Chain A
Amino acid sequence: GNSVTQMEGPVTLSEEAFLTINCTYTATGYPSLFWYVQYPGEGLQLLLKATKADDKGSNKGFEATYRKETTSFHLEKGSVQVSDSAVYFCALSDRAAGNKLTFGGGTRVLVKP
């Protein structure tokens, strides 16, 4: 079956620091990959996505590249802000599995001023 593994948090950073959240996946088909962000008290919002190998998703200064050879989709941001404090979820969607999303466990990020 499909699975997603991401680094456990919490990750605590200072403002303007570099952020990396590791994500690896296992899938039987050809999945699309997503990063979702959840701010306190809110639902999940799509942050970025990539639909095939070597695609790079980017949004709000965040980037992630779909690496088929390493089955990874690591999230990076060069200079974080306090407003980036949230929980980040890596997920995959497999059309062969009815477009159901498989999520990683989430990584809480706390950015201090």
Chain B
Amino acid sequence: NAGVTQTPKFQVLKTGQSMTLQCAQDMNHNSMYWYRQDPGMGLRLIYYSASEGTTDKGEVPNGYNVSRLNKREFSLRLESAAPSQTSVYFCASIGQGLVGSNQPQHFGDGTRLSIL
């Protein structure tokens, strides 16, 4: 199935553990994004990658790192998980057209992460 695939779907960690969330898209999109969703706060951008080989901080980057492994894959790493990072994480991608901002982002189904 075409689209954005996130793994795992669920994960429980202990404080201080590390983990990498995986994201892959098969739509040949240039730009990829990581968001976190918390109740009443919508989605907030953690990091994004406008194109292969580049990454930039979003609104809430602290405590996270990212890697744009290739055009398809964009991973999010928690080096030392904290309870405040309990959230639902969404990966998204967007193609680049002549008028890039008119195109919608395509979202994965999310990773539900709990940190005890």
Contacts and interface: CB of A to CB of B under 8 A. Distances in A.
B48 interface: yes
A43 B102 contact: no
A96 B64 CA distance: 25
Interface residues of B, number: 28
B104 interface: yes
A32 interface: yes
B104 A99 contact: no
B109 A43 contact: yes
B102 A89 contact: no
Interface residues of A, number: 26
Contacts of A103: 42-44
Interface in A30-56: 31-32, 34, 36, 41-46, 49, 51
B100 interface: yes
A23 to B, nearest CB: 11
Given A32-B101, A93-B101, A95-B101, A106 B42 contact: yes
B12 interface: no
Contact of B104 (A31, A46, A98, A106): A46
19 contacts: A4-B42, A32-B101, A42-B109, A44-B92, A44-B107, A51-B99, A51-B102, A89-B42, A98-B31, A98-B48, A98-B56, A99-B31, A99-B101, A100-B58, A101-B33, A103-B43, A105-B40, A105-B41, A106-B42
Interface of B: 4, 31, 33, 40-45, 48, 50, 56, 58, 90, 92, 94, 99-110
